[in-house]
Amino acid sequence: MARAMTTARRDDERQAASGIGLRAVHVAEVIARPPPVAWLEVHAENYMADGPGLRALERIRAFRPISLHAVGLSLGSADGVDPEHLARLRRLVDRIDPMLVSDHLAWSRSGGVYLNDLLPVPCTREALDVVASNVDAVQARLGRPLLVENPSSYLRFRGATMPEAEFLSELVRRTGCRLVCDVNNLYVTAANLGLDAAAYLDALPGDAIDEFHLAGHCANDADGGVTILIDDHGSAVSDPVWALYQDALERFGPRPTLIEWDTDIPPLHVLVEQAHRAGALAAAVARRVDGAVGTEDLHAVAR
């Protein structure tokens, strides 16, 4: 029994492992002094061409697992997935052997033209057919499950026929894909659209979540005095997002968790500190489930 409990705790610790998004400004420092984080994630499109960047990533891959986070598959595109782009991603996957591969519930390509944004997908049956077909194509080409990330939303589609969490659940059922639960995106969407974030979490298929994302956001005053939250990845994780992350952990248990920071990028140690906070909170939730810590101790970790 003791050995079984020890094994389970080690599994929880692996699941609680936290990582950081690797950005170009930190690559040399990461190679010279590998940071004390469990893994690193990169945007796949930055490493699809052979060159110094890809060779640096291979050096890092020798001492840390890498997750590939794509932004260009355009899973919501009615044109289908660009076969050349998918072939480049497959070559990168073969070369790096990543721990995870992910992209977004979004589209960014139309008529062969790529747009510099992740545009929203209407949650309709027709759109679900398109996204499922594209996810199937990606998974068949890569020979592995794809993680699909919930987006940040700033508007409602008048013609939407199902909630986003239901859309994702059905996508998982139809394709066998996995999910990235971006907690900051969920918080931003709930605030902008007046949704219940807890109800959204309840509607997700928890067993399909393989990764959490955490990031910062900013507030912007739109026309008419309405405040809109913007998922800008330009600051530390906010206290409400930490609280929502704890809520997700208590529902689903620990998952590998990423700290994303893409604008106003701070020194590397700041990202590491955020990752350690995420890992400590995930581990504390796992221990509380085992009865090893109490609620007051968990709140202390969360702060």
- Which tokens sit at 125? 């049956």
- H-helix segments, the chain: 2-15, 27-32, 52-61, 83-96, 125-142, 164-175, 183-193, 197-203, 239-252, 268-289, 295-302
User: Which CATH fold would you assign to the domain 19-275?
Assistant: TIM Barrel (3.20.20)
* C-alpha distances out from residue 221 to 184, 224, 233, Å: 19, 8, 18
**Residue-level pLDDT at 301:** 46
* C-alpha distances out from residue 81 to 46, 62, 114, 285, Å: 18, 31, 12, 39
User: Mean pLDDT per segment of 10 residues, for the chain of length 303 residues?
Assistant: 36 67 98 98 97 98 98 96 97 98 94 85 97 98 98 93 97 98 98 96 98 97 84 97 98 97 97 97 84 47 48
197 within 8 A of 244, measured Cβ to Cβ: yes
* C-alpha distances out from residue 268 to 4, 33, 99, Å: 37, 11, 22
228 within 8 A of 192, measured Cβ to Cβ: yes
Q: What is the DSSP letter of 70?
A: -
**Residue-level pLDDT at 289:** 63
**Residue-level pLDDT at 1:** 34
Q: Name 212's bridge partners.
A: 181, 257
**Residue-level pLDDT at 9:** 40
Alpha-carbon span 213 to 169, nearest angstrom: 18
Alpha-carbon span 106 to 227, nearest angstrom: 23
Helix (H, G, I), strand (E, B) or coil at 210: strand
Instruction: Look up the pTM and report it.
Output: 0.90
Alpha-carbon span 194 to 165, nearest angstrom: 15
**Residue-level pLDDT at 134:** 98
**Residue-level pLDDT at 105:** 98
Closest CA to 205 of 244, 138, 153, 251: 251
Closest CA to 301 of 238, 229, 228, 246: 246
**Residue-level pLDDT at 54:** 98
Helix (H, G, I), strand (E, B) or coil at 48: coil
Give the helix, strand, coil percentages of the chain, each rounded to 5: 50, 20, 35
Q: Report the number of secondary-structure helices (H) and strands (E) in the chain.
A: 11, 12
* Residues 6+ positions from 266 with CB-CB distance below 8 Å: none
**Residue-level pLDDT at 290:** 59
